Chains A and B, each alone.
Chain A
Amino acid sequence: MPLDEQMSAPDEALLVLYANGDAVAARVLTARLVPRVLAQAQRLLGNRAEAEDVAQEAMLRLWKIAPEWRQGEAKVTTWLYRVTANLCTDRFRKARGVGLDEAPEPEDERPGPAEGLQERARADALQDALDRLPDRQREAVILRHIEELGNPEIAEIMEISVEAVESLVARGKRALAADLSARRDDLGYTDDG
């Protein structure tokens, strides 16, 4: 299949092409999926290096399962979000007690205009507050409000009911709001959001 056609092909079709030996399909899938996997992993773990390892491992599992992929059974992204979350959970359990404070600082520390700094401070404050949430609440809030997935897909990823997703998101957001409102006063955020 020509590259321009592959760029618009669904993930599932590209995975089948890859399993059949197509040389380009993996590149299109990598470019399309890795940013999402990495973002999810980094938000769940709060650690760039570990998130990169998880992203590579999740994609490796995708490459290996490709020949057994059954069209129409599940979306590739749904499967990948689930695998990524499970890998993060494994690492989080191992790391608990070691301390996530050892995570390296974000790479982009360039000074910018005041507005940019406030955005950066908000993003960092959000990540800190997410890190303090229980695992399942954090996962549900990230998928709902940052990855912007629908509750039915989140339910499929987390293998729970839609009602349970709604409950996790609501509880997670209440905890985030309480955590961030205290920091909002400390850091002097303007209330323009």
Chain B
Amino acid sequence: MMDEPENTDPLKAFFDAGKAARPEPGDALMARIMADADRVQAERAKAPAAVTAPAPVRRGWLERLAQALGGWPAMTGLAAATVAGLWIGVSAPAGLTGMAQDVIAGNDAAYLIDLDPDATFVLADGGM
């Protein structure tokens, strides 16, 4: 080691004095530290009870709504339909506006449907 031998160390007397003047903890400090130890131990003793009997899980309003509508798969379908409706509303196809006006005005022609001839036959035959 790089230090000089202890018996010739000019600092030895100071280090000896420093060791002798070691500060001793007072009763109040010891009591505070032991109170901490007891508190931490007591908190840990309570912790396993919380694990064995977990509190009921609280669901958020969105999760409860999803459950009511049939779960998340149903919610995705609903979301797709909502987006499609929004898209139709924002950029309506040509003719849709006129047809909507006909329906509102009570024009029966708006209900005429040009069915496929085969479909007409099937309808007449009572096959549907």
Contact = CB atoms under 8 A, between A and B. Distances in A.
Interface in A14-35: 18-19, 21, 23, 26-27, 29-31, 34-35
Interface of B is mostly: helix
Interface stretch (A1-9, A51-59, A73-81, A83-91): A51-59
Interface in B18-65: 18-25, 29-30, 32-34, 36-38, 40-41, 44-45
A60 B24 CA distance: 19
Top 8 nearest A-B pairs (CB, nearest first) are A193-B13, A122-B17, A123-B21, A26-B37, A63-B40, A123-B17, A126-B14, A145-B15
Interface residues of A, number: 51
Contacts of B1: 151, 166
A112 B24 CA distance: 19
Contacts, number: 111
Interface of A: 18-19, 21, 23, 26-27, 29-31, 34-35, 38-39, 42-43, 48, 51-52, 55-56, 59-60, 63-64, 66-67, 106, 119-120, 122-123, 125-127, 129, 145-146, 148, 151, 166-167, 169-170, 173, 176-177, 180-181, 189, 192-193
